[in-house]
Amino acid sequence: MVLLPWTPPYDWAWMVGFLQARAVAGVERFHDGGYSRSFGVEGHRGLIHLAPDEEAQGLRVTLSPGLQPVAEICYARIGQLFDLACDPRQVAGALGPLAEARPGLRLPGALDAFEQAVRAVLGQLVSVAMAARLCVISDARGAVPCRSAGAEGAGDAAATRGGADPPRPGGAQRRAAPDGAGGY
């Protein structure tokens, strides 16, 4: 287990809420205040488990044996996903009164640029919940299913909200195709 430090404050509850609403079933799981997911990099695959440690001001991270050879890469990617390099004092200094309402707010990133691109494209075409479901269907990259760590059905944001998709800006629920032939 490794501690990846953050500069306090850190709004873990907001970060978890943001990521959980976009979680991909079978890949990501939220449990007991922590986060687990499957991950693959440079031909190595395995599971990442992490949980916040408020007292130590960081994330306690455990990598499965399959990721140990690329541990440093994994730690750097986790830092990107959870924006651990952010200094909230600099943000507060730059934003002034705008930052006072949400100290410790971070900008979520991603472990993998390809995964982030797929999520962004799908998120523009369909609801957040549907994009998460489509990511499961389209996972042709061979990720290790997170359910091997006990994540049966975890991450389905629509199920935790009673099946309702979040409202789209301006109330739009569908988008027309560029040629006007229909939506998604």
Note the pLDDT of residue 156: 32
Note the pLDDT of residue 106: 92
Where residue 55 falls (left for φ over 0; alpha for ψ -120 to 50; beta otherwise) is: alpha
Strand duo 58-63 + 2-5: pairing = antiparallel
Nearest to 26, CA basis, from 161, 164, 133, 115: 133
Where residue 105 falls (left for φ over 0; alpha for ψ -120 to 50; beta otherwise) is: beta
Say if CB 37 and CB 146 are below 8 A apart.
Answer: yes
* Residuewise pLDDT in 10s, the chain (184 residues): 999 999 999 999 999 999 998 888 889 999 999 999 999 999 999 999 999 999 999 999 999 999 999 999 999 999 999 999 999 999 999 999 998 988 899 989 989 888 888 877 877 776 766 766 666 554 544 554 444 333 333 333 333 333 333 333 343 333 333 443 333 3
